[in-house]
Amino acid sequence: MLLLTGLLAGCGRPAADERIITYNCAASTSDIAALQLAAADFRARTGIELRLNPFSGEEKLYAMIAAGQAPDVFYTNGAVRDRLAAEGRLLDLRPYAEKDPLFARLRPEIRAAAASVDGGIYSLSNWTHTCGVYYDRAAFAAAGVPAPTADWTWDDFTAAARRLTTPAAPGARPARYGVYIPAHFIEALEQMNHAPIPRDALLLDLPPESREVYAAYLRLVHDGVMPDPRRVQAMGMQAAQLLQAGRVAMLVEAVPHPGLIETLTIDWGVAPLPCFGAKSPQYFRSASGGLSISADTRHPADAWRTLAWLIGEAAPYQPNPVLADADFAVAWEQKYPRLRGTGFREVWSLSEQHAGGDPRYFVRFASWSMAPVMTRLQPWLDRLWAGDATLDEVVAAVPGINAGVRADLARQARSTALRPAWKAALERALADAPH
């Protein structure tokens, strides 16, 4: 059984002389169990007791910080990190990172992404991944469809999806769809179609390449080769369950995906995302999110030691792809022998050779504009996927969205809560943004 203290860490703060560090860990029973075991050895070696506080969302985190009960170590994405750093809520990790061998072990792009507006380091990435197309080998063989190759195109992909879709009686849904792409992977497809995706953009733009991808995504549903994302959500099924249950023959998901690797029992393979026509590949590589330390921690050195252990040593998270001194693909095949021969190593290698970066909304938009943009854009996207709005209507809404974003940012710039370096950066960004 899990130690009760590990699950109730948020109920009170330890005494000042206790070397106790609270960690806002993933709310996964298996992760918590594995981490509890590793934490016992960590305490024996360092004298630091790790208490686990399962993460329950950003709003709960903000409430804990406001109440003076912030965990010592917790996950932040880029937007949350910058918001909290701008308000002085996060510890600058640079003095600790630059003295610790861990920092030199990190991949160069991970170190580069750590720097913030004021030169400080307010989080370190604890994971990175790419994405690919998982597929049911038996379904491909039965339909006489060749297995995907590294150079396949969107046309090849959609042709395979059509052949893999099991016809149904007139008016009935297919017994098996050719593919399912969760909507949050559309940004990765935009990148594959060479959409110009700036980092830290202030305002919204939907270039032609992005619109082409939106239209192609909608066609998959309209042509009956992909289930309606709303129906999948209503059914309460995880995407991996669709592949395992034979409801789809292909699935776009994260690579690696420990939960999928551990639960799939079918004979599966994984291929890279398809290219769009003759365009060169620009594969997704995550570059946002990491571990931060509260500025109010009572034991900053112990908190740093814990953060460094979580990234570089803690057994449940090793081998860690953010570290440059290990062959991640080989190490993961050793940890999960089932990966051998699936195409995992090839997909990972291609993502390193043709890394396109991270096109997700909380990376492409500046930390202060991400929420103002998405609160206005997301309802339009929901309507688009539901068939209640056209792509032309979404594009026509962009100027109005940006006008609202500008108004929100102007109010943010007047806030007295922003530290000077962040306030100045926001004012410069507003002045330089296109009108």
Report pLDDT for 17: 61
Concatenated DSSP letters for 266-305?
S-EEEEPPPB-TTPPP-EE-----EEEEBTT-S-HHHHHH
Report pLDDT for 389: 95
pLDDT tens digit sequence for 176-220? 999 999 999 999 999 999 999 988 899 999 999 999 999 999 999
Work out the average pLDDT over 67-76: 93
- The C-alpha atoms of residue 235 and residue 229 are separated, in whole angstroms, by 10
Report pLDDT for 29: 81
Range of weakest confidence among 127-141, 234-248, 254-268, 272-286: 234-248
Fold entry, domain 4-128+287-326: D-Maltodextrin-Binding Protein; domain 2 (3.40.190)
pLDDT tens digit sequence for 20-44? 999 998 877 878 888 999 999 999 9
Closest CA to 23 of 307, 329, 418: 307
Report pLDDT for 28: 77
pTM of the model: 0.90
Q: Where do we find the tokens 């939106």? A: 214
pLDDT tens digit sequence for 133-172? 999 999 999 999 999 999 999 999 999 999 999 987 777 8
Alpha-carbon dihedral of residues 46, 51, 55, 59, nearest 10 degrees?
Answer: -100
- The C-alpha atoms of residue 163 and residue 145 are separated, in whole angstroms, by 7
Work out the average pLDDT over 274-298: 94
pLDDT band at 6 (very low <50, low <70, confident <90, very high): very low
- Other C-beta atoms closer than 10 Å to the C-beta of 337 total 9
Closest CA to 346 of 274, 271, 284: 271
- C-alpha Rg value of the chain to the nearest Å: 23
Cβ atoms of 360 and 200 within 8 Å: the answer is no
Q: Is 53 helix (H, G, I), strand (E, B) or coil?
A: coil
pLDDT at 224 over 90: yes
pLDDT at 352 over 90: yes
Looking at this protein, which amino acid is placed at residue 68? G
Residues 6+ apart with CB under 8 A from 335: 319
Looking at this protein, which amino acid is placed at residue 160? A
Concatenated DSSP letters for 122-143?
--B-----EEEEEEEHHHHHHH
At 315, phi and psi to the nearest 5? -55, -40
pLDDT at 417 over 80: yes
Cβ atoms of 52 and 36 within 8 Å: the answer is yes
Cβ atoms of 216 and 146 within 8 Å: the answer is no
Q: Measured at the alpha carbon of residue 278, what is the angle toward residues 274 and 280, in degrees to the nearest 5?
A: 70
Q: Where do we find the tokens 């940006």? A: 402
Work out the average pLDDT over 356-360: 92
pLDDT at 10 over 50: no
Same fold, 4-128+287-326 and 130-284: yes
Sheet containing 290-293: order of strands: 49-52, 20-24, 73-76, 290-293
- The C-alpha atoms of residue 396 and residue 155 are separated, in whole angstroms, by 29
pLDDT band at 388 (very low <50, low <70, confident <90, very high): very high
Concatenated DSSP letters for 301-346?
HHHHHHHHHHHHT-GGG-S-TTBTTS-HHHHHHHH-GGGTTTTHHH
pLDDT at 249 over 70: yes
- The C-alpha atoms of residue 130 and residue 357 are separated, in whole angstroms, by 9
Report pLDDT for 96: 96
Average pLDDT, the chain: 90
Q: What share of the chain is helix, strand, coil (3-state, %, to 5)?
A: 50, 15, 35
At 293, phi and psi to the nearest 5? -125, 135
pLDDT band at 422 (very low <50, low <70, confident <90, very high): confident
Work out the average pLDDT over 393-409: 96
Q: Thinking of the domain 130-284, which architecture would CATH place it in?
A: 3-Layer(aba) Sandwich (3.40)
Cβ atoms of 36 and 23 within 8 Å: the answer is no
Report pLDDT for 16: 54
Question: Given its phi and psi angles, is residue 150 left (phi above 0), alpha (psi -120 to 50 degrees) or beta?
Answer: alpha
Each domain of the chain, given as residue ranges in start order, spans 4-128+287-326, 130-284, 368-432
Interhelix angle 344-353/328-335, rounded to 10 degrees, is 160
Report pLDDT for 400: 97
